[in-house]
Amino acid sequence: MATFQTLPGFRDFYPEDLAKRTHIFRLWRQTAAAFGFAEYDTPVLEPLDLYRAKSGDEIEGQLFGFTDKGGREVALRPEMTPSVCRLVGARANALKRPIKWFSIAEFYRYERMQKGRGRCFYQLNADVFGEPGPEAEIELIALLVQCMRAFGLTDKDFCVRLSDRMLWFQFLGSLGLDEPRIRSLLAAVDKHERSGDDAFKGYEESFGKIDDELKRRVLGFLGIRSFGALEQALGEPGVSAAVSGRLADWRKLLDGLGAMGLGDYIQVDLGVVRGLAYYTGFVFEAFDRKGELRALAGGGRYDDLVGRLGGPELPAVGFAVGDMTFALLLEERGLSPVVSQAPDVYCILGGEAERKAAFADINRLRAAGFRVDYPMRDLGFGKQFKAAADSGAKIALIYGGDELAKGIVKMRDLVDRTERDFPASGVEAAVRGFFEGG
């Protein structure tokens, strides 16, 4: 008989895996709520046109797209940004600004398989709409950092690399390049860290061999690793004076992040330009400090996407952190959550009559929020005590024939092995006393 496996790049979540994922999502959710973000969701399947010519060539080539039974071209969502722009765009006038929204959802990209990258993965997306200044970036970068710190990760474990596509556009524009050339060069910069000078191949195929001086300037700019160096580079002859106006925004952003106490997490790095085509301003990516893993998170400003998707002009900035690289980093640092699925209480049952007597208590305790388990089949006491110990429960409630006859229940502390009897009518109070009274 044929055996079926998950498709390449797709994952099953056994209970212990799902418990870890749920724990990560719970902390992300709490953190986003603490920052005043409201949660939303969107459909998994979207019109393919939502992504065409918006997300960029790379994502477009990775779409899980098909024609549905109604002849519509559709795609499994590869990212959240175009969808959330639709939602916000449709109600832009009614929504209170700034609009701070987040979601935790699954995405699909037909990617080459590699460590930390799959074809289905989860992301926490957080976005701020309606705020044109770097205050929105401050809020989002602070949220991104806190989403990692909530698990015990520190500035020794990861950093946020900060760059600016607007400055790149202005810089390359001031060198006399037109928009198609600029976009092609930015794609090369995006690939340069992984591919070296091969990254310029795409540019050269479209526009001929790259001029040595241009290449020198591009490599010089992408090598900038501090604000001081950035200021200096913009002072070089040949760069338009208008460009320097952008530095005031940089100062505001860096000062704000410093005031939040996040300076040690931030690394100015003009080598980051992001692969997605819609970014218009500051861009950032989070990486592990050792540089061993793929990006943990990425984001930036995309001020014209809401408008391009049919909504009003609305400034926007956001990021997404993925679950896969993040879980790898937690594991590597020994910070992977240990999630207990043990019951609080395990009931040990003498026989049919005792089982019935226990059921009312079991139901009542469960309704009161305690995790309660019991053997589904009649088993000897020895096997039941072993099952109770194996379950990881803190206490066992023993419903034996003697206890039933005397109208009592025995409670056994499975850690220190002490036992105590109490009236059958007082089970809930006794269990409460154990867990709440210490």
Q: Which is nearer to ligand HAM, 111 or 155 (CB)?
A: 111
Tokens representing 180? 């198609």
Distance in Å, CB of 236 to ligand HAM, minimum: 31
Return the residue of 31, 83, 103, 125 that touches ligand HAM, per CB under 6 A.
125
* Interface map 291-330 toward ligand HAM (x if CB under 6 A): ----xxxxx------------------xxxxx-xx-----
Residue 284 interacts with ligand HAM (CB under 6 A): yes or no: no
**Per CB under 6 A, which region of 114-122, 251-259, 388-396, 407-415 contacts ligand HAM?**
114-122
186 or 297: whose CB is closer to ligand HAM? 297
Nearer to ligand HAM by C-beta: 31 or 81? 81
Q: Are strands 45-47 and 73-76 parallel, antiparallel or unpaired?
A: antiparallel
Task: Please say which residue, 127 or 131, places its beta carbon nearer to ligand HAM.
Answer: 127
Q: Answer whether 144's CB lies under 8 Å from 296's CB.
A: no
How far apart are the C-alpha atoms of 207 and 201, rounded to whole Å? 10
Q: Does 143 bind ligand HAM (CB under 6 A)?
A: no
- Hey, what are 336's tokens? 């992977």
Q: Which of 100, 109, 161, 165 binds ligand HAM (CB under 6 A)?
A: 109
- R_g of the chain computed on alpha carbons: 28
Q: List binders of ligand HAM among 241-260 (CB under 6 A).
A: none
Nearer to ligand HAM, 121 or 399 (CB): 121
Which of 127, 137, 190, 344 is close enough to bind ligand HAM by CB under 6 A?
127
Nearest Cα to Cα of residue 24 among 328, 393, 266: 328
Closer to ligand HAM by CB, 161 or 217: give it. Answer: 161
> Does residue 81 touch ligand HAM according to CB under 6 A?
yes
Q: Which of 101, 121, 203, 346 binds ligand HAM (CB under 6 A)?
A: 121
Closer to ligand HAM at the Cβ: 121 or 370?
Answer: 121
In the complex, minimum distance from the CB of residue 42 to ligand HAM, in angstroms, rounded to a whole number: 12
Nearer to ligand HAM by C-beta: 224 or 320? 320
CA distance 111 to 117: 8
Write b or e for each residue in 384-397: b if 16 or more Cβ atoms lie within 10 A of its Cβ, otherwise e. bbebbeebebbbbb
Q: How many residues bind ligand HAM (CB under 6 A)?
A: 24
Residues that bind ligand HAM in the complex, under the rule CB under 6 A: 79-81, 109, 111, 117-118, 121, 123, 125, 127, 276, 295-299, 318-322, 324-325
